[in-house]
C-alpha cells in the first residue's frame, strides 16, 4: 500500500503523520520506520518506531534517497511500513518534476518487499501529477 498526503505548509500533514505512525505501531505486525529531516518529531512519535534523521546522510537526489530506503529494508526484513515526512526536506534538490520517478521506485519496493509507504509532500494538490493523484 502506498499513500501520499499532499498539501502546503500548515495544512496538517505533520499531525497526520504523527497520528499515522503511532497508530501503525499498535496495528502493524512488523517494524515501523519514520524518516524525517531533523529530530523534530522525536518526542511526538512512539519510541517503538525506528526514527531515521536524513540530515546525517547528505542526500543529494531521489536516487540516493531510494538507496537509503533499500538499505533500511535490507537491514531489517521485518519492516512493514515506512513513513516519509516532508520528502522535499529530506531531498532538498528535488521538485514536483522529479516525484514520478521516485513514486515508481517506491512502487517497485512495495511490490517486491511488501513494505507499505506513506509519503508527505509539501506542495499544492493542484501540482500533483496523475501518478501522485493515484495515491492521494
- The pLDDT value recorded for residue 82 is 98
Residue-number span of the structural domain to which 66 is assigned: 2-135
| Cβ–Cβ under 8 Å, residues 110 and 116 | yes
| pTM, full prediction | 0.95
Residues 75, 103: Cα–Cα separation, whole Å? 22
What does the pLDDT look like over 60-103, one tens digit per residue? 999 999 999 999 999 999 999 999 999 999 999 999 999 999 99
Longest CA–CA separation in the chain, Å: 37
When pLDDT is cut at 50, 70 and 90, the band that residue 10 belongs to is confident
Look at residue 116 and tell me whether its pLDDT is greater than 90.
Answer: yes
- As for how many domains the chain has, the answer is 1
pLDDT digits over 27-55, tens only?
Answer: 999 999 999 999 989 899 999 999 999 99
* Degrees to nearest 5, angle at CA 65 with 90 and 136: 70
Residue 118: CATH number of its domain: 3.40.50.300
Per-residue pLDDT at 9 exceeds 90? no
Distance CA 97, CA 128 (A): 10
Cell of 114: 511488501
Which three-class secondary structure state does DSSP give residue 2? Answer: strand
Amino acid at each position: 500500500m502506498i499513500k501520499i498526503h499532499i498539501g502546503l505548509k500548515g495544512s496538517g500533514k505533520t499531525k497526520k503523520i504523527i497520528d499515522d505512525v503511532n497508530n501503525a505501531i499498535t496495528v502493524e505486525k512488523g517494524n515501523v520506520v519514520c524518516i524525517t529531516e531533523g529530530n523534530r518529531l522525536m518526542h511526538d512519535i512512539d519510541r517503538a518506531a525506528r526514527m531515521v534523521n536524513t540530515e546525517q546522510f547528505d542526500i543529494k537526489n531521489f536516487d540516493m534517497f531510494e538507496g537509503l530506503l533499500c538499505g533500511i529494508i535490507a537491514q531489517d526484513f521485518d519492516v512493514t511500513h515506512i513513513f516519509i515526512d516532508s520528502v522535499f526536506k529530506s531531498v532538498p534538490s528535488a521538485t514536483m518534476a522529479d516525484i514520478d520517478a521516485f513514486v515508481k521506485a517506491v512502487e517497485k519496493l512495495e511490490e517486491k518487499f511488501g513494505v507499505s509507504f506513506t509519503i508527505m509532500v509539501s506542495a499544492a494538490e493542484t501540482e500533483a501529477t496523475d501518478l501522485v493523484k493515484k495515491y492521494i
